[in-house]
Structure 1
Amino acid sequence: MKRIFVLLAGLCCISCLYPQAPATEAILEAFENRSRQHLLHENEAYALTSFSPAYLFDTLLPAAEARYKKHPDTWLQVHLLRLRANAASNHRNLNNNIGIRPESVTLTEEAIRLCHLEGNDLLLAETYFDMAELFNLYARHEEYITMLTKAFEIADREGHDYFPGILLYHKLAGMCKAAFHINSYRESIHYGNRALAMLGALKRPPDLHTEIFVYDLVGFSYKMLHQADSSIFYYRRINELLKGRDTSTVFYKLWSAIANGNIGENLSAQGNAIAADPLLEQWERAGIGFGDSANISLARKAQAANYFRKGEYDKALQCWLFVFEWSKKEKHFTNAAAAAEGIASVYRRKGHVDDAFFYFRQSQVYNDSLTAFNNRSGLQAVQAKVKLENLQQSLANSKALLKVEKRSKQFLLAGIVLLAVIATLLYNRQRLKAQNRLQRLAQQKREAELDARKTKEEIENFVRHIKEKNDLIDSLRDKLSSDTALKARQDILEGLSEYTLITDHEWEQFKTGFAKTYPSFFPAMAARLNQVTPAEERLATLIFLGFNNLQIANTLGIGRESVTRARYRLKQRLSLSKTEELEELIAKW
């Protein structure tokens, strides 16, 4: 449990050699499996893979992402969120200096929220197992225990048959270890015994190393609680497990020495120092032989106490001094405090008051450090529980809101049904009113359409009329040019040039009808020009209707040159380039 972040409900026990595409597909199908045995199916699928971080984050995660994009599924989404949460703080992102990334917690909490919304407690327990391993990865033992406690509450309620037995065993073993690390020895014993009680029900036995490790943790915890008989029982159980094993292996020699050494330490505590001697010496020799400084220190700590009981104070002092220096270096407060206290006792017996006082003070310092550590662990445990309770409260509030929403929908549905009944009763009475109203609306629509067609026809007639007048003026101008005396001809031509075919009154009438037929024209023009003048409105309207410069000049009663200048100014106001046509822009309005 040192550097492996176990994903997806702690399937850390599964380890094979070949991640294959079919196995990945089987895992993804298990993610979407909505049966109560889905975790068992996942377990079987994972057994076909290497279950390494590289496989989980470089193969399975991208495959899950791709599958979710094609086939969105809430259960798949929960697993995907958990994979993302793990990837954010594990594998290439594993960094003890930074710790757990906030996104890991956020993504896992979102997965928990979805589980609550789905009402799937089995999937929720699996997610809590995942969240626990997130804390275990960074040695946050208090949160690890809190999350696993919540997961086991669900597992105990739903039934262990829906969870792989080996998974539950490893989780309990992990809780035993975590409790031991924070000096919660009674909890360590509790979780360890629960794990050991499961051994007989497992379809396949766990790794011997793990089983012996649990026995060691429980036995050591009993020893720290000064329950020697219970401690001896568990260490003798280790010796029983080692029977029939290859006695030449390092594993056998070291664990045999550890078991016997701890038995010897307990015998010494019971007053049987003679029987303890060879067992403690075996423990020390094994530690020295394998270069295991931790076991050397533990063995010499036990030997020091045994020597002290036998009155061999110099040997006791030598052992305790070694333990004290090693414990200071490793920051092992419990052993440092015990060694300092032992050294002080030896010096007191020897009459070295100053040395005794110095090491007594050292003992107090390390005991205070141990107390602070325990208090800090207790505080962290409380904080972890508060966080979990806050999360659960938030989820409960969400659930309550959903219930309220559901109830509201039910009331709404009931109201709709009631309204439907009332509507049915009033239907006959309202039918005629509705029909009349629809007939009136239809009539209004027909009238509006007729009015629009009429207006459009009027505009077309108006345009045709204007063009006919223009044609008439042109023909008169030609005739006068040939048949009339020069002076009279010039007077008539000047009169025709000044004649305005659209008066202000006619223009307002025309503009009203034009706006009905082309409602977007004047707003579009106003959007392109600030403060549109009446002259610009008339010019743009006639261009829109397809009038040429001469027809515009005759209609507005101005010269053709004036029309040309007016067109040029309008084009500038519209910011058109030389290549852009005024007619094309106006036609779009």
Structure 2
Amino acid sequence: MYEILGKFELGLKILPQDSTNIYDCIKLAHKLKDDQLKAEVYTLCAEVGKGTNRYVLYNLKAIELERKVGFSHFKYVHNRFFNVSLGLYQSNNYRKSIDYGLQCLAFKNVRKNTWDPRVYIFQLDIVGASYLKLNQYDSARYYYQQIIDTLTKTPDENANVQSLWLGIAKGNIGHALILQGKEAQGTPLVYLQLQNSTAIKSYNNMAIAQNILANLDFKYKRYQEAVSKWKQAYHWALQSEYYVVEQKLLSLKGIMMCYRKLQVPDSAYKYGDLYNRLNKERLLELGAQQLSAIKAKIEFDDIQTNLENISTKLRQEKMTRNFILGGIFLLAVISLLLYNRQKLKVKHETEILNRDRMAKDLEIKEARERINSFALNMGQKEKLIRNLERTIKANGTDNLSSSLLNYVLVTDEEWHKFKEAFNKAYPLFFPRLKQIVAHLNPAEERLASLICLDLNNQQIANMLGISASSVARSKRRLKQRIAVPEGQSIESYICDLNDLV
């Protein structure tokens, strides 16, 4: 025992042989029939098995023995309850985690001189987070407020730790308020968590806060803002060194939903596939963890059975083991079936989006062909007028020439049809034009669309029924209104509005 304790004190690596030695200690302690010694050995055994499914089991056994001997004989008994509460929370057993967490907190006023202040804060966080998972928002807010009150009364000696935990507590209170429909109160608190976490690069807490804010944007159909936040949250989750699979899944699912709403099927499929793969890995990992937990429980019970030499109990445990293993196998099969069903559903939705996109692409192509044909016809009509003008002047019929030169090729009805086709061919043009030109009038709108078709001044003049010099003046006025960058022509600037980027 002292050899292993010495390794913990000096920060030395725990070796596989140490696990074997500590199990031998358990056997020796049972022979001595000393419950207090057995409790200490089980506590040490739990520390050696930290990070495994044995961790909770041996802490529970230590609590059982300490309760039998009397808690007053153990200086750090509250740490056993904390360890069990943490382990149960990590295995998603939130109700039991709360039970052991509250028992841990009950020692706060009994063992004041043995408490680590940060353990107390962490235990409050586990209880608050468990209530949040159970949708008991008032209880969650109460325990996170306890963190704020504690740190306000006795600040942590490390300023970064102080700032981080205040941010976490306020952010979770804000999250609870948002889930209760009190978004105006809760949102600023989540932003505070994001700010405090960012200041010290706590990536897991940054991802948690950003996921909450992204979900709020999605709720109010701000899909571009939501997808941007979810992508940032996913990036931070990837950088975190802590267990953040849940945050990755939330981010990927959110990105997939946004792209579906924005009708971007390729991106929706890409992130949906990432989500499904990660979720499948998580389901398999959970299945493996459950199986590992069962095996650990069986091994633990086997040890207890051997120590107490109760053969009848051993047979019962074996039957239970086989039953549970069968249940785990069935659960794994059901999980895989659900995964495949979800994948087929996503594939079907993607195919529908692709068909819609192809139909829209065809419609845009047809509209652009009509626009190009329209521009070509305009050029041909202008050439025809010029030929007629020369013929008429040669014959001395000036009045007829003048009449032809003043002919307006586009009526209001023609412009209505033209604009409808133009919008389908270039859906981004008019919205972007209106963004850069305040209070755009119809004349400017027509002029810009004809410039976009790469028509010259004379062609535009013939179409609008005005002179080429009037077109030039109108272009200069429009260039001043748009504030075209130095060295760039208004024609090239307007044509750039059609770019998809």
Q: Output the CA distance in 2 between the equivalents of 1:92 and 1:343.
A: 43
1:173 aligns with 2:87: no
1:126 aligns with 2:40: yes
> How has the CA–CA distance of structure 1 residues 160 and 399 changed in structure 2, closer, same or farther, with 3 Å as cutoff?
farther
Q: Output the CA distance in 2 between the equivalents of 1:191 and 1:377.
A: 21
Counterpart position of 1:40? none
Q: 1:152 aligns with which of 63, 68, 74?
A: 63
CA contact 1:86–1:134 (8 Å) conserved in 2:
no
> How has the CA–CA distance of structure 1 residues 355 and 398 changed in structure 2, closer, same or farther, with 3 Å as cutoff?
closer
The 10-residue stretch of structure 1 (179-188 or 265-274) with the greater mean CA deviation from structure 2: 179-188
**1:311 counterpart SS class:** coil
Q: Output the CA distance in 1 between the equivalents of 2:252 and 2:180.
A: 22
Counterpart position of 2:198? 288
1:242 aligns with 2:156: no
Q: 2:290 aligns with which of 370, 378, 394?
A: 378
> How has the CA–CA distance of structure 1 residues 221 and 366 changed in structure 2, closer, same or farther, with 3 Å as cutoff?
farther
Deviation at 1:348, TM superposition (A): 1.9
Q: Output the CA distance in 1 between the equivalents of 2:247 and 2:178.
A: 17
Q: 1:347 aligns with which of 228, 252, 259?
A: 259
1:204 aligns with 2:116: no
Question: After superposition, where does 1:288-437 map in structure 2 within 5 Å?
Answer: 288-330=198-240, 332-397=244-309
CA contact 1:177–1:188 (8 Å) conserved in 2:
yes
Counterpart position of 1:231? 140
Deviation at 1:200, TM superposition (A): 2.4
* Structure 1: runs of 5+ lacking an equivalent: 1-81, 401-589
Question: After superposition, where does 1:465-484 map in structure 2 within 5 Å?
Answer: none
Deviations 1:110-149 (A, max 9, x none): 222222222111211111111111112xx22x11111111
* Structure 2: runs of 5+ lacking an equivalent: 313-501
Deviation at 1:298, TM superposition (A): 1.5
Q: Output the CA distance in 1 between the equivalents of 2:8 and 2:291.
A: 24
Counterpart position of 2:3? 84
Counterpart of 2:120, as a letter, is E
> How has the CA–CA distance of structure 1 residues 196 and 187 changed in structure 2, closer, same or farther, with 3 Å as cutoff?
same
Q: Output the CA distance in 1 between the equivalents of 2:114 and 2:31.
A: 37
Deviations 1:65-115 (A, max 9, x none): xxxxxxxxxxxxxxxxx22355689857516xxxx41x3233222222222
> How has the CA–CA distance of structure 1 residues 184 and 398 changed in structure 2, closer, same or farther, with 3 Å as cutoff?
closer
CA contact 2:204–2:244 (8 Å) conserved in 1:
no
Counterpart position of 1:161? 72
Deviation at 1:371, TM superposition (A): 1.8
Q: Output the CA distance in 1 between the equivalents of 2:175 and 2:222.
A: 16
Deviations 1:140-172 (A, max 9, x none): 2x11111111111112223212222xx111122
Q: Output the CA distance in 1 between the equivalents of 2:117 and 2:129.
A: 18
CA contact 2:203–2:237 (8 Å) conserved in 1:
no
Counterpart of 1:160, as a letter, is F
The structure whose Rg is larger is 1
Give me the CA root mean square deviation. Answer: 2.7
Counterpart position of 1:272? 182
Deviations 1:454-477 (A, max 9, x none): xxxxxxxxxxxxxxxxxxxxxxxx
1:115 aligns with 2:34: no
Deviation at 1:245, TM superposition (A): 4.1
Deviation at 1:281, TM superposition (A): 1.2
Counterpart position of 2:18? 104
**1:351 counterpart SS class:** coil
Question: After superposition, where does 1:488-527 map in structure 2 within 5 Å?
Answer: none
Deviation at 1:211, TM superposition (A): 0.8
CA contact 1:189–1:218 (8 Å) conserved in 2:
yes
> How has the CA–CA distance of structure 1 residues 206 and 372 changed in structure 2, closer, same or farther, with 3 Å as cutoff?
same
Counterpart position of 2:130? 221
TM-score for both structures, normalised by structure 2? 0.57
TM-score for both structures, normalised by structure 1? 0.49
Question: After superposition, where does 1:28-107 map in structure 2 within 5 Å?
Answer: 82-85=1-4, 91=10, 94=13, 100-101=15-16, 103-107=17-21
Q: Output the CA distance in 2 between the equivalents of 1:389 and 1:301.
A: 42
CA contact 1:132–1:145 (8 Å) conserved in 2:
yes
Q: Output the CA distance in 2 between the equivalents of 1:399 and 1:356.
A: 57
Deviations 1:478-500 (A, max 9, x none): xxxxxxxxxxxxxxxxxxxxxxx
Counterpart position of 1:251? 161
Q: Output the CA distance in 2 between the equivalents of 1:252 and 1:89.
A: 27
Q: Output the CA distance in 1 between the equivalents of 2:9 and 2:151.
A: 36
> How has the CA–CA distance of structure 1 residues 161 and 87 changed in structure 2, closer, same or farther, with 3 Å as cutoff?
closer
* Identical pairs, percent: 26
Q: Output the CA distance in 1 between the equivalents of 2:85 and 2:68.
A: 21
**2:201 counterpart SS class:** coil
Counterpart position of 2:101? 192
Counterpart of 2:40, as a letter, is E
Q: Output the CA distance in 2 between the equivalents of 1:382 and 1:90.
A: 32
**1:338 counterpart SS class:** helix
Deviation at 1:321, TM superposition (A): 0.6
Deviations 1:23-77 (A, max 9, x none): xxxxxxxxxxxxxxxxxxxxxxxxxxxxxxxxxxxxxxxxxxxxxxxxxxxxxxx
> How has the CA–CA distance of structure 1 residues 92 and 126 changed in structure 2, closer, same or farther, with 3 Å as cutoff?
closer
> How has the CA–CA distance of structure 1 residues 374 and 127 changed in structure 2, closer, same or farther, with 3 Å as cutoff?
same
Counterpart of 1:324, as a letter, is Y
Counterpart of 1:122, as a letter, is Q
CA contact 2:194–2:205 (8 Å) conserved in 1:
yes
> How has the CA–CA distance of structure 1 residues 365 and 226 changed in structure 2, closer, same or farther, with 3 Å as cutoff?
farther
Q: Output the CA distance in 1 between the equivalents of 2:32 and 2:81.
A: 27
Q: Output the CA distance in 1 between the equivalents of 2:293 and 2:116.
A: 30
Deviation at 1:399, TM superposition (A): 12
Deviations 1:361-402 (A, max 9, x none): 3222222222222222222221221111121122123999xx
> How has the CA–CA distance of structure 1 residues 362 and 229 changed in structure 2, closer, same or farther, with 3 Å as cutoff?
farther
